[in-house]
Each structure stands twice: as C-alpha cells, then as structure tokens.
Structure 1
Amino acid sequence: MPTDKTDDFKIPSLKLNKIVEKELRIELLDYNATLTQTSVHALIDGASSYTHTEELLREARVIATIPTGLETLWHLACIGADEAWVSGWYVSISRISKIHPNTDDDVFTVCRLFPTGLSSTKEGELMYSDWHSRSIYVVRNEKTEKLITVPTGWFPDRLCCTRSGDILVSLSKKDHKKPQKVICYQGQRVKLEVEKDEHGDLIFAAGSNSLYVAGNNNGDICVSDANAQRVIVLDKTGRRVRFIYDGSPVTSRTLSFGPHHIVTDSLSQIIVAEPGVGCIHIIDQNGYFLRFVEKTNLSYINGLSIDSKKRLWIANGETKEVMIFQYLN
C-alpha cells in the first residue's frame, strides 16, 4: 500500500510587507516582488517623455486667424506652410493665404452640389470627393481629372493623401443602414479594403456620421467613427486593430465621445477633433493620451490640417475663419 507523503509537504509562507504608503513587497520562498501604486497622469507623463523628441507646449497658442469669406465652412487642407484649400456648401473651393489674406483664388468643381471631402496630394495638388458621381477628382495644371470611381453602391465621403502617396477614402451606403468602410488606393488601384478585422468582425458601425480618415508615418490607418463613439487605429494591413481610443483617458465623461476630423503630424501624433465639446485630443501613435487643446471659441470645429511648419490649422465653422495654432515647441 503506498505511503501517504502529504504530511511531509509544507506550504511556504507568503509575506506581505508594506514599505511605504503606495508600495507593497511580496516574498515567497526565494522570490520577491514590489508593487508600486501610480496614477494615470504619471503613466501618461512617462510615456510622453519617452516617445517624443519634441515637447508639446503647455498650452497651444493661436498665432494667426484667416477670414475665409465663406458663409459655410466645412473642409480644410493645407498647402505647404502658409496656404490652404477651404470649402463649404458650394461647388467651388477657395484658396486662402496666411500672408495674403485677401487672395481670391477659386477652383470650380464638377460636383452637382458640393465636395464631401477635401485633401491635397504630396505634390500640393487639390483633391476632392463628389458624392453624386461617386468619384475622386484631382486638379492638375488648372485642369480637373477624374482619378477614382468607387465601387458600385458605395459613395465617397472623407479622404486624405498619406505621406507615402496612397489615398484613403471613407465610403458609406446611400441609406446609412450598412456599416461603412475605408478603401486605400495606390493611384487608381485598390490596395486594400478596411471593413473586417482579422477575426472577420465588422470594424465600423452603421450610422449617419461619416468616417474621417488619416494615415500615419508607420503605415497605420487612423479612423474616427462617431457612430461607434471611438477612434480606431489599424496597422498597415487594415485588418489588425492596434488600439481603440474612447476619448476618456484620464477623467470620466458626462457626454458620449463624438470624434470627427482627424490628422497626424510628423511625430506620428494623432490629433482628433471633438466638435461637440469644442476640444482637440492629441494622442501618440500607441494610443497614449498627451494633451487637450481647448478654446472657448472652438465649438464648431469643421476641419483640421497640419502645415509644413508643424502647425495645426483649424476651420472654425461658427466664425468662418481658419485659426493657426502653434502646439509644439
């Protein structure tokens, strides 16, 4: 009959030693560990100092304001350092200048009503989307060329040209009952479609709010989905979700998160507009919250763009002006 050895087994004792108010040491045989309580603010500060070589200003400051002369202001795209394209509920798109505010330079589009998206290519050429013709157009040498026609049954909304030259376009159905998607074009060729993740689940929600898109330096695809109340960042395959930002990294929210316009800068920081609360969120490429940009007159944010001098341009839909912010040292 086997001998019962359980009486010879001794359970090791676990020692808990409180070292200081926010530190706890655990000892088990020859093993020990120290747990330290910290705050979300401390984690954020640590991540910020580690991941960025240029510091954010403690408070972003307005360095210029440009009147557009438009009655409605809905889209904005920088050209170089001192100029930008702007548009509203018109068939035309206007060029504004920080140096020459009274410049009158309009491009008449082929849109039946107005452009649904606005961007500029790496070469500074104007690019816009037209919902009714389901097409993307580019203006070269003062001539308008049809660049892309999106798949049948889909309509183009927002768009952006990435630093690699690819074009990201958000698409929706006419009745908004089907979840939206994003297509990445390389020239006129479909490079990839962003609709389902690596598990086959739909990434975006159905709803009346358009998806806003931006490409990052590392190839990530950044999407504001106000219908799902979140920002989704995917890797360059468009199938793996790297992280989701819900707008509440530090404090609890009383209103649902409503992200809209989104851009990225040379440091790979992701900048998101939340018009409902007049606020700009800045997060790093890994989803760490960095800073809010809050101004009392930012309640109608209708466009974001970054110029070649790393300044943030914001379209103010209430005043119909474009504000230029310095937010980096």
Structure 2
Amino acid sequence: MDPHSSAQDVHRCDLCETAIVHSYCDFCHVNLCKPCIGDHISDGYDKHKIVQFQERRSTLIYPKCETHSQKNCKFQCKDCKNIFVCSSCMASEQHGRHKFVEVTEVFKTKKDNIIKDKQEFENHISPTYEEISRDFENQLANLDGGYEKLTTTMSKQGEQWHREIDAIINKMKTEISQIKVKHRDILQKHLNEIKQIQSLIKEALQTIRKIEKSTEVSSTIEYSSKIREFSKFPPKVQVSLPTFIPKPIDREKLYSLFGQITPLSTATEENVLSLHQPKTSVRELLDKPELFATIQTGYKELQSVTCLNEDRIWTCGETNDIKCFNMKGSLVRTFKIKSEELPNDVAVDSDGDLLYCDWTDRTVRIVKNGQIEELITLPEEWTPNSLCVTSTGDLLVTMFCDDETQSKVVRYSGSTEKQTIQFDDEGKPLYSGNDEIKYITENRNHDICVADYKAGAVVVVNQDGKLRWRYTGHPSVTKNEPFKPSGITADSQSRILTADNNHCIHILDQNGQFLRYIDNCDLKDPYGLCVDNNDNLFVCEFYKGNVKKIKYLK
C-alpha cells in the first residue's frame, strides 16, 4: 500500500518517506522522523530549527545580519527606515541614539493585519465578486429571452399594423363597390333611354316601308316625317372609372410612426467592497428640485400614478375610471374597469399592458389590446393592495387579510405564486396588519421596499425576503406630523423616494440613510409616486388631484 495515500492519512517523513513524522524543521519547513534528523542537520546545526511536530511553524525565523553574519536581526531601526539590525548593529556608531523596535512586535502587528485581510477577502471581497459574477451570468442567461421578448413585442406591433392596413384596404374596397353600383346604374339608365328611342325608330321605319310599297293615296299623303325628331341625337355620356392615388411611402416617417428602439444604456456604479463607504452616484442630486409640469387629472382623491412611457402616464383615483395623460396634460384615454368601485393601484408591465387591483372580487387584472383578462385571483380571505412589476418581469403584490391582522407581499410569475414575504427571522410580522394601502417598489439591487403607512415605516427586505432595514423618518423642526409614508419608488441610482404626509418627499440611499427632502415645488398631500426612464419624478397630490413632474437629479 502506498503510505502517502493510505486511509489513515498519517504524516510521513519527507526524507525517507516511510517513517512516521516526529519532528519538524521550522526553518526548512520539512517533516522529519527521529533517524532522519541527524542527516538533515549534518550541514550545520545552527542553520536549522528543529521542533516537535505539534509546534511546527511556531519559531520565528529572523533575517541574517548583512554586517555581522553570525547574528540574526531581531530589531528594526526606526530612524533608518525600519531596516533590520542585530544587537551588534545597535551598539555601533552608525545607529547611535537611534530608536529601535522589536521585530516580534512588528511581526505580530503584521500577522494581525494579514488575518484581517484574510477575513476581509473571505467574508466580503470574494463573496461580493462572486455575487457580481453571478449577476453578469444571470444577465447573459436572460439576454436571449429579453431580446426575444423585444422582437415579439415588435412583431405584435407589426401584426397590429397589418390588421389596421387590412381594415383600411377592406374599407376602400367597400367604397369602390358602392361607386361601381352607382356607375352601373348611370350607364344602365342611359342605355334604357337609347333602347326606347331605338324601338320608336324601328316602328317609324316599318311604317315608311309599308307606305313605300302601298298605292293607297290617303296614307301616303298623311305621312309626316320624323327625321328631324330623331336626328337630334342624345348627348354622349362618358362615365369615368374612379382612380386610386397611392401616397408615396416615406420610410423615415413610417419608421418613426411604427415605434422607437431606445439606445443601449449602461449604468455604472462604484462598488465599494470592504471599506463600507457609500457608493458614488453617477447622477447627483440637485440642490433645489425643479417643477417641470402640473397635470390636472380631475380626481377629487388621486392615489396612484405609473409611467407608460416617456410621454404617457396612467392614473387612478376615487372613481372606476383609469385615465391616461400625456405630458401636456391632455387626456389621451380613459379606461373604465368592470366593477363600479375604484381600483386600489395600477402598474404597467414590460409589454406596456395595464395592470390594476380590483378589491371587490380580489383579483389582479390585465388589459391587453383593450380586452380585460383576469391574471390573478386571491384566496377568499386576502385582498390585493398594491402592485409592482420587477426587473425580471415578476409581479409583486401587497395584500391584507379580511380581519386586518395580517399583511404580506407575494411574488408571482404570470399567475403562479413563487414567494411569500410576511415574517422576519424571529417570526415577527414585517408589515402592519390593516387595510391601509402599502405601496411597493423594487430597487435596482433587487431589494423589495414597502411604504407601510400605518406603521410609519419604510420596510426593506432583500430578494430572499430577509429584513435589511426599516426607516421611520428623519428628525426635523419643520416636520410637525409623525412620519407616514404614503407612496414609494426607486430610481436608477438605487435611491428610494417615499412620500410623507408632512407635504414632502424623503430621499434615501439603498441602505436607508436619509439624504435629502424634496419639500419645495408647493407639494400638498403627496401620495403615489413613480419615476420614468430619465429619473423624472411624478407625484400624486391626493386632495388636489394633480400629478406633478419634478426634476431632482443633475
């Protein structure tokens, strides 16, 4: 049996490779049995450090002095840039009155630093790089699916255009058929008149031929010519066929009308791994946010807003109408939900389809091509509260039970439940149990953020549902009312924005640290929030029924 691969895995001598190890050379880092010790130190005992095997690597190996070859350097001269010195060097004129430090102290300090570095690598740096690597791997794995979804959306737009073009062609064909009927009627009318005259001419000609052959005096004398009557020919009627004048195809205009492909966008953020410093933002906060637009929605109580695209927003309030506005404040479209009650919340998925909560029948519904489809039906004791579409296309739904003792967040993939987030590691509820709306958003780092109005807190968990932090407001002499978050969203910089009934917006970093208020722009009773792809902020003013568009980043 090979002694180096035996099941007992005992340590063997590095010289003879058979005997069990007894000692260790702390200078050469060699395992030794008793008989082999003599052979190993035969070239000079002082060159080696023989210790018990259990005490291996415990002896410090000092550097040899370059000036006094027989001595080891056990000190460092602080005045000579920490060079190594021996006891003879310390007594020499070269180092007179210099300050020295024992190598053992420096060694211990360095060892402690090395152990800390090792822990930093093992606990923070290496896992973070693994996480970054997995993120890129996931992005690459989802790349084909994302682009396939993009081309599918484009194909759907093409199919819709084909349907519209076919409808236009069919309409024009119907118009042509109607013109053809009129054309036929005109020609038939004139043909009938000519046929009638031809019949009269035929009768006159027959009479003439009869008289021509007759010798009867009276009929010949009584004959009256009708040449003048029939010589007045009817006007020539020419009915022209209609023409189709095709308009020239402007490919550039057609391309822009069909849709728009947004350019590839790469957002870069500094990853600070071990120093635990805040991340440097790509876009900094404005010193004073700017009000860009105020959109009057007509709701007496406006509670939700979500961006459809760069130029459209969906809103919902105290009626069963969901309204779409453009940035000029014009009403583009109104959609009436099936129930007579107001929807709890609205959202838009990656295909641009509208989603809304209907608390009357405990459903989440989706509007596709103007048709309402039931996406999710909750169990009888649960009512949907608020919606968020994640970066991966999942749907997060906040909900509460009928007895108002429990609330939770459920993640859905399509109509399939994937995850439930309700309790922390100690089994305590994460969210207050009541029917107050709990707005929800997903941050860029995949954290799930909930504005819990009743609890007066923003509750943030990671994508696995583990509690990361709670934010319960920021002390300010100008904010008199308790912090009550009534809306929440996150921007491209992983900042979290939450509405407060103190007529302001709190801006937090991804770790829950307060950064700034937005308390200008004449905000009154801010409620639901959202940001568009350019990080413009849209704020619902609950009682005024206005949506305000605010720029807060440079």
- Tell me if both proteins adopt one fold, taking TM over 0.5 as the criterion: yes
Match of 1:212 in 2: 439
Q: Does 1:277 align with 2:508?
A: no
SS at match of 1:74: strand
Q: Distance in 1 between matches of 2:441 and 2:332?
A: 29
Match of 1:318 in 2: 543
User: Once the two structures are superposed, what CA deviation does each residue of 1:127-159 show, in whole Å capped at 9, x if it has no partner?
Assistant: 100001100011111111110112230000111
Q: Distance in 1 between matches of 2:478 and 2:462?
A: 28
CA contact (8 A) 1:158 1:210 kept: yes
Q: Distance in 2 between matches of 1:321 and 1:98?
A: 13
Q: Does 1:229 align with 2:229?
A: no
Q: Which amino acid aligns with 2:402?
A: K
Normalization by structure 1: what TM-score? 0.80
1:148 to 362, 369, 376: 376
1:263 to 489, 495, 501: 489
Match of 2:346 in 1: 118
Matches within 5 A, 1:1-329: 50-99=279-328, 101-176=329-404, 178-238=405-465, 240-248=466-474, 254-274=480-500, 276-295=501-520, 297-329=522-554
Give the superposition deviation at 1:64: 1.2
Give the superposition deviation at 1:191: 1.4
Match of 1:39 in 2: none
CA contact (8 A) 2:479 2:502 kept: no
Q: Which has the higher strand share?
A: 1
- Alpha-carbon spacing, 1:319–1:255, altered in 2? closer, same or farther (3 Å): closer
Match of 2:261 in 1: none
Q: Distance in 2 between matches of 1:129 and 1:138?
A: 9
- Alpha-carbon spacing, 1:296–1:98, altered in 2? closer, same or farther (3 Å): closer
Give the superposition deviation at 1:164: 1.7
Give the superposition deviation at 1:49: 6.8
- Alpha-carbon spacing, 1:249–1:190, altered in 2? closer, same or farther (3 Å): farther
Q: Distance in 2 between matches of 1:208 and 1:114?
A: 15
Normalization by structure 2: what TM-score? 0.49
Q: Distance in 1 between matches of 2:393 and 2:348?
A: 10
224-233 or 293-302, which deviates more: 293-302
Q: Which amino acid aligns with 2:380?
A: T
CA RMSD of aligned residues (A): 2.3
Give the superposition deviation at 1:253: 6.6
CA contact (8 A) 2:483 2:502 kept: no
- Alpha-carbon spacing, 1:299–1:195, altered in 2? closer, same or farther (3 Å): same
- Alpha-carbon spacing, 1:123–1:264, altered in 2? closer, same or farther (3 Å): same
CA contact (8 A) 1:208 1:227 kept: no
Give the superposition deviation at 1:67: 1.7
Q: Distance in 2 between matches of 1:98 and 1:254?
A: 34
Give the superposition deviation at 1:302: 2.7
- Alpha-carbon spacing, 1:208–1:256, altered in 2? closer, same or farther (3 Å): farther
Give the superposition deviation at 1:212: 1.4
SS at match of 2:302: coil
SS at match of 1:185: strand
Give the superposition deviation at 1:250: 7.2
- Alpha-carbon spacing, 1:317–1:227, altered in 2? closer, same or farther (3 Å): closer
Q: Distance in 2 between matches of 1:250 and 1:236?
A: 32
**Taking CA–CA contacts closer than 8 Å with sequence separation of 6 or more, which of the two structures ends up with the larger relative contact order?**
1
Give the superposition deviation at 1:289: 1.3
Q: Which structure has the larger Rg over C-alpha atoms? A: 2
CA contact (8 A) 1:82 1:307 kept: no
Number of residues paired by the alignment? 283
User: Once the two structures are superposed, what CA deviation does each residue of 1:140-192 show, in whole Å capped at 9, x if it has no partner?
Assistant: 1111111011223000011111222111111112342x121111111111111
Give aligned-pair identity as a percent. Answer: 32
Give the superposition deviation at 1:251: 7.0
Q: Distance in 2 between matches of 1:270 and 1:86?
A: 21
Q: Which has the higher helix share?
A: 2
CA contact (8 A) 1:172 1:210 kept: no
Q: Distance in 2 between matches of 1:98 and 1:252?
A: 32
- Alpha-carbon spacing, 1:48–1:122, altered in 2? closer, same or farther (3 Å): farther
Q: Which amino acid aligns with 1:312?
A: L
Give the superposition deviation at 1:261: 0.6
CA contact (8 A) 1:184 1:191 kept: yes
Match of 2:134 in 1: none
